[in-house]
Amino acid sequence: EGSQVVKISGRLQSNVADVLRIAAINDLGLVMLPEYIVGRDIQKGRLQVVLENYTRTPLDVHAVYPHRKYLSAKVRLFLEFLQIWLPKQVGMLGEQ
């Protein structure tokens, strides 16, 4: 099938997912957001999926923390949580 490059242009930009979600609900354009953010809107018919066969390149995520011999319990638990939770976010990280 090969790859296809799509040039995207527009005036609305935001790094806040909810702003983009609301813009899409109000017919201001297309957005690419993870299912955990727009899933309920899709189920209720406020949004619909387009370009269903298009997948995003998986996103690498890194946790950066100070190197110490012993991590605090809070940091250790948070890192364990990320290792479990992040791979489940298929819309955000690609299928893993």
- 11 plus 35 within the same structural domain: yes
Q: Please tell me whether residues 42 and 65 are part of one structural domain.
A: no
Give me the mean pLDDT over the 61-89 stretch. 84
Residue type, position 37, single letter: I
Task: Check: CB of residue 8 under 8 Å from CB of residue 30.
Answer: no
pLDDT band at 94 (very low <50, low <70, confident <90, very high): very low
Q: 9 lies in which domain range?
A: 1-54
Question: CB–CB of 92/59 below 8 Å?
Answer: yes
The pLDDT score that the predictor gives to residue 90 is 56
Predicted confidence (pLDDT) per residue in 29-68, tens digit: 889 888 889 999 999 999 999 988 877 777 777 888 888 7
Counting the structural domains of the chain, the total is 2
- Assess whether 44 and 71 both reside in one domain: no
